Structure formats: C-alpha cells, structure tokens
Amino acid sequence: MHQHKIHKHYIETSRGLVHAQEAGRADAGEPPRPALVLVTPTSFSSPLLGPVLAGLAQRGWHALALDLMGYGRSDRRDGHWRVPAFADNIIEAVAASGVAPAGLVCGHFSCWTGIEIAARPAAVWPTLRGLVLDGTPRYTPAQRAEMQAAGAPPPQPWDEQGTHALAYWNKVWRILHLLTPDTPLPAVPSQRFREAVMCLLEASVYEPNTALAAADFAIEALLPLVTLPTLVMCSDTDWNLKHFDAVVAALPDPRPLRLAGTNPLHDPDAPGRGDEYAEHLHRFFAEL
C-alpha cells in the first residue's frame, strides 16, 4: 500500500502565518483530486492529524489541514477574535493554497468557523458539497448572556515558584483525561503525545480566551442557513455530547453519527485510529 507523505508548510495571510499539513495533492500534469479542508478540531489535535490525512489521501482525496490562528503551529492571535474573523482567515488561507474545497471538516471550537463559512453565500466556496461538524458546542442565548456579563477570564498570574506552570499542566491533564478517561498518563510519552500536550499548553499560555467569541456567536440563527449535507459527529466521551441532539435538530440536512468511546482525534496515544476517522469522512463525502 502506498504511503502518502504529510507535507507541512505555512500559508501567509493578512493576519499572520497559518500552519498547513496536506497529503494527496496531485502531481504536475495529473488531474486534481477532490479536496477536503480540515480545520483544527481541538487545541491539541494538530499533531494527531497525520494518520487521518494519509488515510484520506489513500482513499483518493487531497486533504489539507489548517490550524486556526492561535492553535497548533499557526501564529498567535492579535487579541480577541470573534468567529467571523476566524472564518475570514480560513477563507483567505484556502484561497492562497489554491484549493477548491469539496468538503469542510471542523471540530469543537472550529465548528463555529465551519458554520459561519457554510452559512454565507455559496459563492464563497462554490465547489463545497458537504460539511462535517464534530463535537459542536451550542450555547443558548441565556448562556451567552452570562458569558458576556462575566467577560473573558483573567490570564493565569505567573510567579517565581512556577505555580502557574502547574496550573497550566493541571488544565491540560484535565482536558486530556476528560476526553480519554481510560488512558493513563504514559510513563514515557510518545513523540505524538508530547506534541499534542505542547500544542495544548501553548494555546493555554499564549492565547486570549475564546469566551468572548462564544458570547456573541448566535449559533441558533446560523444553523438553519447551513443547507449543505452535514455529518454531525460526536463521541461518547466528548463534553459537547449534550449539544448533539439540538445541533442535529436545527440543521436542514443532518447526517448524525455517534462515535462509541473516545473520538479517534482525542486519543493522542492511538495513531492507528486515524484511519478509522478517515473512513468516516470518506464514506460521507463519497456519497454526496
């Protein structure tokens, strides 16, 4: 079986460099393959996408994964961004890449970016045939009003004893353990596991909190505008499972898919499961 190499590079945009990973781009002289754009599913998933991209390329797709600004290996953000700013940046990066997306795959916070893009006029990406939303957060107007009133939480104060470092680690381990509850901390973590932890730590240390983006994203108004066939995914251990039914009910053309156990993209010590995730995406987009 041919092994597809993952090419990593940066795409320059007007607001900074967007980190890209891709596999399956057609060689010169070959007809282009249908393209799938994946946007960082979680704060730590950028290093975990390699097997997914290779699996998609093996199945005939050109897969392009982009880290949201401030996530993975993309540049840090210049202050608080609202969801339309993230969407504009991804649209600009995709245009610069020369890719004409047939599908868009998003997860967790980036689901809002995907919804924002898909709810805009079809002229933005006229080739787009379908959308994947994996673990979509859906806050009610009342919950958003509470977030708006509370404002963004203050940054973690630093001190010479390094208690801030322990606070960041506690946050990272809490997130990882919530999503992979049966996975113990490896005594000697793999390179993949280390890179996932570092991406999550960097997002915690450097980035403005996304609470303000959540506070003014009226998802209930935009979901009915997403007329594309939409694969709505969520795993048993995802904390956004409680929003799953409401997201499905609000979309005009939903295709719900519950994943048993831990999501393959939330499992930093199981690279083999990336092909499992690629198969879910392939089945959905191949039928459109």
Average pLDDT score over residue span 203-224: 90
The answer to whether residue 11 scores a pLDDT higher than 90 is yes
The answer to whether residue 206 scores a pLDDT higher than 90 is no
Q: Which helix (H) or strand (E) holds 247?
A: helix 244-250
The answer to whether residue 155 scores a pLDDT higher than 90 is no
Q: What are phi and psi of 48, to 5 degrees?
A: -95, -5
Q: Which helix (H) or strand (E) holds 286?
A: helix 274-286
- Paired with 11 in beta bridges are 18
Q: What is the CA radius of gyration of the chain?
A: 18
Residue 278 lies in a domain: yes
Mean model confidence pLDDT for the chain: 93
The answer to whether residue 71 scores a pLDDT higher than 50 is yes
Residue 18 lies in a domain: yes
Residue 101 lies in a domain: yes
Average pLDDT score over residue span 148-176: 92
Alpha helices in 59-162 (DSSP H): 83-97, 109-119, 141-150
Residue 2 lies in a domain: no
Residue 193 lies in a domain: yes
CATH number at residue 62: 3.40.50.1820
Alpha helices in 151-218 (DSSP H): 163-179, 191-206, 211-215
Distance CA(283)–CA(164), nearest Å, equals 44
Residue 1 lies in a domain: no
The two tokens of residue 251 are: 């979309």
pLDDT band per the 50, 70, 90 thresholds, residue 36: very high
Instruction: Provide the percentage of residues in the chain whose pLDDT is more than 90.
Output: 81
pLDDT band per the 50, 70, 90 thresholds, residue 2: very low
The answer to whether residue 127 scores a pLDDT higher than 90 is yes
> Residue 1's pLDDT is what?
38
Provide the residue range defining the domain that includes 262. Answer: 7-286
> Residue 80's pLDDT is what?
87
Number of domains in the chain: 1
Closest CA to 174 of 40, 44, 41: 44
Residue 83 lies in a domain: yes
Buried b (16+ CB within 10 A) or exposed e, 160-193: eeeeeeeebeeebeebbeebbeebeeeeeeeebb
pLDDT band per the 50, 70, 90 thresholds, residue 144: very high
